[in-house]
Amino acid sequence: MSDAVVNVSFSRDILPLFRPTDIEHMIAFGVFLHKYEWMSQPANARSVYRHLAGQTQPQMPLGGPFWSEEQLALLKRWIEGGFQP
């Protein structure tokens, strides 16, 4: 089965990409990386993506290491795939 066919899941594929320190740090800014209900809001997910990709500053995670192209592509697939839980 190709990667394009496999649904990307928040709990299985996306949540594990966020480090606990990143999750804790972002809560103070009202960004809840660990909560599906927050991340599945299109505006929130797209904003997080733009920060992770360096399209919006500051680039996340602050101080790096920054996400790989593969990690960014996975998040983009999750967004484009309809925010599967």
Q: By residue range, what is the domain housing residue 37?
A: 10-80
- Per residue in 13-43, pLDDT (tens digit) is 999 999 999 999 999 999 999 999 999 999 9
The count of other CB atoms within 10 Å of the CB of residue 67 is 21
What's the pTM value of the predicted model, to 2 decimals? 0.90
- 25: in domain: yes
- Per residue in 57-70, pLDDT (tens digit) is 999 998 899 999 99
- 5: in domain: no
What's the domain count of the chain?
1
Distances (CA, A) of 76 to 5, 21, 41: 14, 22, 14
